[in-house]
Amino acid sequence: MSIQQMIMQLAGGMGISIQIFVVTLAVSLPLGLVIALGRMSRNKILQNIVKVYISVMRGTPLMLQLMVVYFGPYYLFGLRVGTSYRLWATFIGFSINYAAYFAEIYRSGIQSMPAGQYEAAYILGYSRFQTFFKIILPQVIKRILPSVTNEVITLVKDTSLAFTLSVAEMFSIAKALAASQTNMMPFVAAGLFYYIFNLIVAVVMEWIEKKLDYYR
């Protein structure tokens, strides 16, 4: 197999990796905010349920969680799932895992806000909803962006765990090519793909940080 053919196959797998990356962020970022609000709820039952969820998601391997999401419907409810469910199970597993991490990042950012912010908004006549979404959340996003950036970069590399469910993302293809050709070149090429992807993500996140650095 020529280098061009190898790169084309890896690029196809990279498309799946990017799909997992985009869907995970699109779901886990807003879901993480909802979970963070549940974690800070005054309702003790809801708060404890969310605590357990976050503890499980952060305390068990993502690979295991993917397997539970994929095989769970059959072993728990007797539902037979087709091969098309593999990618959906990957989306679900990644999203609920990263939502737990983002929830803790959101929580730390929200709890770091001075109480005076809320008091000033109340005096100005803002409702609790307006206070949070117009005053608090924009400042929280700016504060937590470095931590979010670290998680986003980790997500790029974690997409390789989709091979657990036999999803043909880039690492799975690289492994198959390396086995068939008995050389390491597919892994080297895959490493370059991941590095470039991460570099692009880092540059974009740095650009967003500069845009939000409105104190300068």
Domain ranges of the chain: 3-212
Give CB contacts under 8 A, 24+ apart, made by 88-93.
89/165, 90/20, 90/66, 90/162, 90/165, 90/167, 91/20, 91/23, 91/24, 91/27, 93/62, 93/65, 93/66, 93/68, 93/69
- CATH code: domain 3-212 is 1.10.3720.10
pLDDT at 99: 97
**What averages of pLDDT result for each successive group of 10 residues across the chain (216 residues)?**
76 87 96 95 93 95 93 83 85 96 95 86 86 88 91 91 82 81 82 89 88 64
Q: Express the helix, strand and coil content of the chain in percent, nearest 5 each.
A: 85, 0, 15
pTM for the full predicted model:
0.88
Which helix (H) or strand (E) is 40 found in, with range? Answer: none
pLDDT at 11: 82
